[in-house]
A = this chain, B = another copy of it.
Amino acid sequence: MARMQKKQRQQHLIEKIQSSPFLTDEELARLLDVSIQTIRLDRLELGIPELRERTKQMAEEAQTKIKAIDKAEIVGELIDLDLGKSGISMMTVTPDMVFERTRVARAYYVFSQANSLALAIIDAPAAVTGVANIKYKTPIRVGEKLVAKAEVVKQRGNKYFIWVKTRNEKQEVFRAKFIMVSLD
Protein backbone atom coordinates (compact mmCIF):
# COMPACT_ATOMS: atom_id res chain seq x y z
CA MET A 1 0.00 0.00 0.00
CA ALA A 2 2.76 2.42 1.00
CA ARG A 3 4.62 1.27 -2.09
CA MET A 4 1.55 2.08 -4.24
CA GLN A 5 1.28 5.51 -2.66
CA LYS A 6 4.89 6.18 -3.46
CA LYS A 7 4.44 5.18 -7.09
CA GLN A 8 1.38 7.38 -7.40
CA ARG A 9 3.12 10.24 -5.64
CA GLN A 10 6.12 10.00 -7.95
CA GLN A 11 3.80 9.90 -10.95
CA HIS A 12 2.11 13.04 -9.66
CA LEU A 13 5.51 14.64 -9.12
CA ILE A 14 6.54 13.91 -12.71
CA GLU A 15 3.29 15.35 -14.04
CA LYS A 16 3.55 18.49 -11.89
CA ILE A 17 7.11 19.17 -13.02
CA GLN A 18 6.23 18.57 -16.66
CA SER A 19 3.33 21.02 -16.59
CA SER A 20 5.01 23.58 -14.28
CA PRO A 21 8.77 23.09 -14.54
CA PHE A 22 9.56 26.08 -12.32
CA LEU A 23 7.98 24.88 -9.09
CA THR A 24 10.37 24.82 -6.13
CA ASP A 25 10.69 21.79 -3.88
CA GLU A 26 8.75 23.75 -1.25
CA GLU A 27 5.90 24.38 -3.65
CA LEU A 28 5.88 20.76 -4.82
CA ALA A 29 5.80 19.56 -1.22
CA ARG A 30 2.79 21.76 -0.50
CA LEU A 31 0.98 20.64 -3.65
CA LEU A 32 1.52 16.92 -2.99
CA ASP A 33 1.04 17.32 0.76
CA VAL A 34 4.35 15.68 1.68
CA SER A 35 7.58 16.92 3.27
CA ILE A 36 10.29 18.73 1.30
CA GLN A 37 12.60 15.86 2.21
CA THR A 38 10.24 13.42 0.46
CA ILE A 39 10.26 15.56 -2.67
CA ARG A 40 14.07 15.64 -2.67
CA LEU A 41 14.33 11.89 -2.29
CA ASP A 42 11.73 11.32 -5.01
CA ARG A 43 13.60 13.62 -7.37
CA LEU A 44 16.83 11.78 -6.65
CA GLU A 45 15.21 8.40 -7.34
CA LEU A 46 13.58 9.68 -10.51
CA GLY A 47 16.71 11.46 -11.70
CA ILE A 48 14.97 14.85 -11.87
CA PRO A 49 17.45 17.65 -11.19
CA GLU A 50 16.74 20.46 -8.72
CA LEU A 51 14.96 23.61 -9.89
CA ARG A 52 18.12 25.63 -10.60
CA GLU A 53 19.59 22.84 -12.71
CA ARG A 54 16.26 22.18 -14.49
CA THR A 55 15.99 25.86 -15.40
CA LYS A 56 19.58 25.96 -16.62
CA GLN A 57 19.13 22.88 -18.82
CA MET A 58 15.92 24.22 -20.33
CA ALA A 59 17.48 27.64 -20.92
CA GLU A 60 20.51 26.18 -22.67
CA GLU A 61 18.34 24.06 -24.90
CA ALA A 62 15.96 26.95 -25.64
CA GLN A 63 18.76 29.30 -26.60
CA THR A 64 20.12 27.00 -29.26
CA LYS A 65 16.82 27.18 -31.14
CA ILE A 66 16.27 30.93 -31.53
CA LYS A 67 16.26 32.29 -35.08
CA ALA A 68 14.70 35.75 -35.46
CA ILE A 69 16.65 37.51 -32.70
CA ASP A 70 20.11 37.28 -31.19
CA LYS A 71 20.00 35.53 -27.83
CA ALA A 72 21.90 38.43 -26.20
CA GLU A 73 19.10 40.73 -27.31
CA ILE A 74 16.44 38.95 -25.31
CA VAL A 75 15.30 40.92 -22.27
CA GLY A 76 15.00 38.52 -19.35
CA GLU A 77 16.13 34.91 -19.59
CA LEU A 78 14.66 32.60 -22.18
CA ILE A 79 13.98 29.30 -20.48
CA ASP A 80 11.77 27.39 -22.84
CA LEU A 81 11.22 27.54 -26.57
CA ASP A 82 9.08 25.60 -28.99
CA LEU A 83 10.05 27.43 -32.17
CA GLY A 84 7.09 28.69 -34.18
CA LYS A 85 4.75 27.87 -31.31
CA SER A 86 5.55 29.08 -27.80
CA GLY A 87 8.18 30.22 -25.32
CA ILE A 88 8.77 31.20 -21.71
CA SER A 89 11.13 33.78 -20.22
CA MET A 90 11.86 34.95 -16.70
CA MET A 91 12.93 38.37 -15.45
CA THR A 92 13.46 39.58 -11.90
CA VAL A 93 12.58 43.23 -11.32
CA THR A 94 15.72 45.01 -10.08
CA PRO A 95 15.85 48.46 -8.42
CA ASP A 96 17.11 50.13 -11.62
CA MET A 97 13.91 49.09 -13.42
CA VAL A 98 11.51 51.08 -11.24
CA PHE A 99 10.57 54.74 -11.25
CA GLU A 100 12.13 56.78 -8.46
CA ARG A 101 8.83 58.33 -7.50
CA THR A 102 6.36 55.45 -7.55
CA ARG A 103 8.74 52.47 -7.12
CA VAL A 104 6.68 50.90 -9.90
CA ALA A 105 8.49 49.10 -12.75
CA ARG A 106 8.78 51.22 -15.88
CA ALA A 107 6.31 50.07 -18.48
CA TYR A 108 8.97 49.42 -21.10
CA TYR A 109 10.89 46.77 -19.15
CA VAL A 110 7.83 44.58 -18.94
CA PHE A 111 7.03 45.42 -22.55
CA SER A 112 10.52 44.55 -23.72
CA GLN A 113 10.54 41.20 -21.94
CA ALA A 114 7.29 40.32 -23.74
CA ASN A 115 8.32 41.82 -27.06
CA SER A 116 11.71 40.12 -27.24
CA LEU A 117 10.10 36.81 -26.27
CA ALA A 118 7.54 37.25 -29.06
CA LEU A 119 10.46 37.73 -31.48
CA ALA A 120 12.30 34.73 -30.12
CA ILE A 121 9.50 32.26 -30.85
CA ILE A 122 9.17 33.24 -34.51
CA ASP A 123 10.43 30.59 -36.92
CA ALA A 124 11.99 32.99 -39.44
CA PRO A 125 15.48 34.45 -39.89
CA ALA A 126 14.33 37.98 -38.93
CA ALA A 127 11.18 39.80 -37.86
CA VAL A 128 9.94 43.18 -36.68
CA THR A 129 7.08 44.37 -34.49
CA GLY A 130 4.00 45.65 -36.32
CA VAL A 131 1.26 46.17 -33.77
CA ALA A 132 0.97 45.69 -30.01
CA ASN A 133 -2.06 45.92 -27.76
CA ILE A 134 -0.95 45.77 -24.18
CA LYS A 135 -2.45 45.93 -20.75
CA TYR A 136 -0.78 46.46 -17.39
CA LYS A 137 -3.06 44.85 -14.84
CA THR A 138 -1.33 45.81 -11.62
CA PRO A 139 1.76 47.82 -10.63
CA ILE A 140 4.92 45.70 -10.67
CA ARG A 141 7.54 46.22 -7.98
CA VAL A 142 11.17 45.43 -7.11
CA GLY A 143 11.93 41.78 -6.44
CA GLU A 144 9.00 40.37 -8.36
CA LYS A 145 9.88 37.43 -10.58
CA LEU A 146 8.06 37.85 -13.87
CA VAL A 147 7.33 34.77 -15.93
CA ALA A 148 6.23 35.62 -19.48
CA LYS A 149 4.59 32.99 -21.68
CA ALA A 150 4.24 33.64 -25.38
CA GLU A 151 2.18 31.71 -27.89
CA VAL A 152 1.70 32.01 -31.65
CA VAL A 153 -2.11 32.00 -31.94
CA LYS A 154 -2.32 32.50 -35.70
CA GLN A 155 -0.03 32.89 -38.68
CA ARG A 156 -1.01 34.40 -42.02
CA GLY A 157 1.68 34.75 -44.64
CA ASN A 158 4.50 36.70 -43.00
CA LYS A 159 2.29 37.90 -40.13
CA TYR A 160 2.46 36.26 -36.71
CA PHE A 161 -0.25 36.90 -34.14
CA ILE A 162 1.39 36.32 -30.77
CA TRP A 163 -0.08 36.58 -27.28
CA VAL A 164 2.11 37.08 -24.26
CA LYS A 165 0.92 36.77 -20.67
CA THR A 166 3.17 37.76 -17.79
CA ARG A 167 2.63 36.64 -14.21
CA ASN A 168 4.40 37.38 -10.95
CA GLU A 169 4.31 34.81 -8.14
CA LYS A 170 0.63 35.52 -7.47
CA GLN A 171 -1.26 36.80 -10.47
CA GLU A 172 -1.25 37.93 -14.08
CA VAL A 173 0.31 41.40 -14.18
CA PHE A 174 0.53 42.11 -17.91
CA ARG A 175 -0.69 40.84 -21.25
CA ALA A 176 0.11 41.77 -24.82
CA LYS A 177 -1.13 40.88 -28.27
CA PHE A 178 1.48 41.38 -30.93
CA ILE A 179 1.38 41.26 -34.69
CA MET A 180 4.94 40.56 -35.76
CA VAL A 181 6.10 40.58 -39.37
CA SER A 182 8.84 38.28 -40.58
CA LEU A 183 11.40 39.62 -43.06
CA ASP A 184 13.07 37.71 -45.87
Which residues of chain A have a CB within 8 Å of any CB of chain B?
68-70, 73, 75, 99-102, 104, 106-108, 111-112, 115-116, 125-136, 139, 183
Is the Cβ of A101 less than 8 Å from the Cβ of B133?
Answer: no
Which DSSP category, helix, strand, loop or mixed, fits chain A's interface?
A: mixed
A140 and chain B: residue at smallest CB distance: B128
State how many angstroms separate the Cβ of A83 from the closest Cβ of chain B. Answer: 16
Is the Cβ of B135 less than 8 Å from the Cβ of A130?
Answer: yes
Chain B neighbourhood of A125, CB < 8 A: 101
Is the Cβ of A73 less than 8 Å from the Cβ of B135?
Answer: no
Is the Cβ of B135 less than 8 Å from the Cβ of A131?
Answer: yes
Which residue from B99, B129, B131 sits with its C-beta under 8 Å from A70?
B99
State how many angstroms separate the Cβ of A15 from the closest Cβ of chain B. Answer: 37
Q: Which 4 A-B pairs have the closest CB atoms?
A: A108-B112, A107-B129, A102-B126, A132-B134
Is the Cβ of A126 less than 8 Å from the Cβ of B112?
Answer: no
Chain B neighbourhood of A126, CB < 8 A: 99, 101-102
A180 and chain B: residue at smallest CB distance: B107
Which residue from B106, B134, B183 sits with its C-beta under 8 Å from A73?
B106
Per the bound structure, the CA–CA distance linking A108 and B25 in Å amounts to 36
Per the bound structure, the CA–CA distance linking A133 and B133 in Å amounts to 4
State how many angstroms separate the Cβ of A70 from the closest Cβ of chain B. Answer: 5
